[in-house]
Structure 1
């Protein structure tokens, strides 16, 4: 009964029986329209297979498997879900999109948070940080500050 679905005869909404039992205590009426619920005999996607989303505790990286690995004890199972096989159109990207409905940040790389500093004159990203020294006009004022000097055009910014 755990994975059994039922369908509303009026609005065609499909729900898991366990969800309805937990939400409203019965499986006779549709929570959307109040219509009569019917058992769904066949699964919506019969050609889909079971995928396994694992985390390697030693290295901290994640992986997708379409079968159980040889040594599953070395990995931590995060999510088991149904999706089309890898040879379907879209390949693994479709599988990853379906996984993201369960785990939104799956296989997303962290965005670079530090801004890229570029030379205002030539646009180079390579520069050297130098301390401001003594100046004839300002003396020691500002001598503790850091200035950037472009490695290509030698502009200070």
Structure 2
């Protein structure tokens, strides 16, 4: 003997073996309503996987458990869901910070700004989370920029354009200074400034 099926709309009960002999066993013979629960045949629930957040190296979100202990563990369906959960726990993490555009202007002074001005055209545009990330990207593109250069004392730079391309040239001779001078000057290859 089969099980008893209840119609949700008209509350009629039917034997499963009687409904199996009908042309369409999934429709109620009294009211014509479907006997199958729509929510039971909906989308199957997505499988959740464990995501692990490691703090080393600026933060790493991965689904692989390494031999070191993670800072946080999340049950999420995909990486975006894990990032959403991470943002609730650690809002200042570099993984969940929104990237903004940073613009590098070169004019009288070199600036790195997050505002786009109408009267200036930026030389470079970067997508970065903060100014340090933008400076790191600028250093990859333009390593001689004074914004990112470390002014170490052992590197000789041009005082006008800050270039490191320096050439040693002999000093000019004249009747007043004499012909026997052996002094040399430094000259910038880019802007031809002698110093």
TM-score category of the 2 structures, normalised to the smaller one = 0.3 to 0.5
> Between Structure 1 and Structure 2, whose CA radius of gyration is higher?
2
Higher relative contact order (CA 8 A, sep 6+): 1
Q: TM-score if structure 1 supplies the norm length? A: 0.33
Q: TM-score if structure 2 supplies the norm length? A: 0.29
